[in-house]
Amino acid sequence: MNPPLIGVILAQIGTPDAPDAKAVRPYLRRFLSDRRIIDYSPLFWQPLLRGIILRVRPHKSALLYSTIWHKDGSPLLLHSLAQQKGLQALLGSRYRIELALAYSQPGMEQAIASLEAAGVQRIVVVPLFPQYSSTTTASVYDAACFAALGRKSASGPVKKRFVPALRFIDTYYDAPGYISAMKHHLLRQLEPLKVKPDFMVLSFHGIPRRYADTGDPYPEQCHETARLLAEAMNWEPGSWQVSFQSRFGREEWVGPSTEEVLKGLAGRGIRRPMIFSPGLVTDCLETLHELAVEGRDFYASGGGAAEDFLAAPCLNNSEEWLNFLAGLIQENAQGWLAAAVHPLQ
């Protein structure tokens, strides 16, 4: 049997191995030690991280993870594996799809090694982040390049002789197929509802304002995604709003914050809001708890009825989303296949 011609890596952030402090601590240590995420000097940040944050936060985070954990494991990992399986079925034997998590297992090194062991010499890397951010997309670039090169850093020792060819999929925040996938996904969520939402909150993961001010295009891309989705859904002006979640630390973040927006909805006469995260394509702690559970509490604290608060799931492995990704991968593999391959859409 001939080896697959093209390797594909689906790159995600990651998840703890278990919903307990013992598993959460190393995950948070890796995540919060990435200078793409926290760019403070290690001389300042590492003592704070190891001396205070990693002593307190793992226990709190573990409690939250325990509320969303499935009997088979982490929601993010399970949904990501379903995405991997679905894409493999769509793309067939000419491709080999691997999952790589930035701060947990299976990691980028494992994904690259698995592809190389299968005889793959050309790899398409797919950051599962529609909007570019230095905190997500660029971290994937770092991890994939170092893993392919066989080194931990630019000055570190080299462990490999052969380096596979890499192609990185560009941002797709305004791609018609991505917008269409969200539209069909949301219409499915709305279809069984007897009473439709009277307001949509489109919540994106936040970044520090300083990152945006120094060149990160993420906020602008989020707003453009939201505008295109609202246009596709035929939402009236004033019936939807962008917000940013998951603030961390004391410095200013891009806003408005999702918490502030949700607390103010009832006072604006909004009685049945729905929240959705266009930038997070796989359900995880940030959507299943922060938006669906904490979001409901924020809305209720502002005077709204908790039972009227709605939260839409992420795209996960929905058909339109996987078809879009498959087409995107095929487009980026052009010239690498022995015969022309036509995108699915």
Place of tokens 């010239």: 335
Asked whether residue 52 is domain-assigned, the answer is no
Asked whether residue 66 is domain-assigned, the answer is no
204, 288: one domain? yes
214, 279: one domain? yes
146, 10: one domain? yes
- pLDDT band of residue 341 (cuts 50, 70, 90) is very low
For 50-70, b where at least 16 C-beta lie within 10 A, e where not — what string?
eeebbeebbeebbebbeebbe
245, 219: one domain? yes
149-207: pLDDT as tens digits: 998 777 778 888 899 999 999 999 999 999 999 999 999 999 999 999 999 999 999 99
Asked whether residue 42 is domain-assigned, the answer is no
68-101: pLDDT as tens digits: 999 999 999 999 999 999 999 999 999 999 999 9
**In this structure, how many other beta carbons lie within 10 angstroms of the beta carbon of residue 40?**
13
Asked whether residue 23 is domain-assigned, the answer is no
187-201: pLDDT as tens digits: 999 999 999 999 999
Specify the amino acid at residue 6: I
Residue 126 above 80 pLDDT? yes
159, 265: one domain? no
124, 228: one domain? no
Residue span of the structural domain in which 167 resides: 6-16+74-171+319-332
Domain count, the chain: 2
145, 11: one domain? yes
Question: What CATH number is given to the structural domain containing 137?
Answer: 3.40.50.1400
Reported pTM:
0.93
**pLDDT score of 154:** 73
**What is the rounded distance in angstroms from the CA atom of residue 274 to the CA atom of residue 308?**
9
